Amino acid sequence: MGKPYSEDLRRSVVQAIERGYSYEEVAELCGVSVSSVSRFLTRWRRTGSIRAEKFGGYKGYALEPYKERITQWVAVQPDLTLSELQVRLAKGKVVVSQTAIFRFLRHAGFTFKKKPARGRTRSAGCGRSA
């Protein structure tokens, strides 16, 4: 994975643009792309900072605010499917994918266990075939 450009380089880019060089000239002088020059300058003008934004790290779950509601639904009806949860959430104006629901449930500690009464698909008398 890459890493952000140094603050020295960013500062050089911004100073060169402020001295009157074109984006293309600065990009060639500093060895960065024209789009990077544009991003550095935009960030400088918006925030007054040349620092890179947070890079990597933890991203929370979109369903975290609805944890209590989802927990209640699963407690009342433990065999809810992902699609049924998706429909219930959509009624509350929460649009998420089934994958997001699955990941959130796994994060929240919910697991799906098959009922032992279902057993195997073969008849009990069959042994292993050679």
Q: What is the C-alpha separation between 106 and 99, in angstroms, rounded? A: 11
Which pLDDT belongs to residue 95?
Answer: 92
pLDDT digits (tens, 9 = 90+) for 59-101: 788 899 999 999 999 889 888 899 999 999 999 999 999 999 9
108, 67 contact by CB (below 8 A): yes
pTM over 0.85: no
Phi-psi region of 93 (alpha: psi -120 to 50; beta: other; left: phi over 0): left
pLDDT value at residue 128: 62
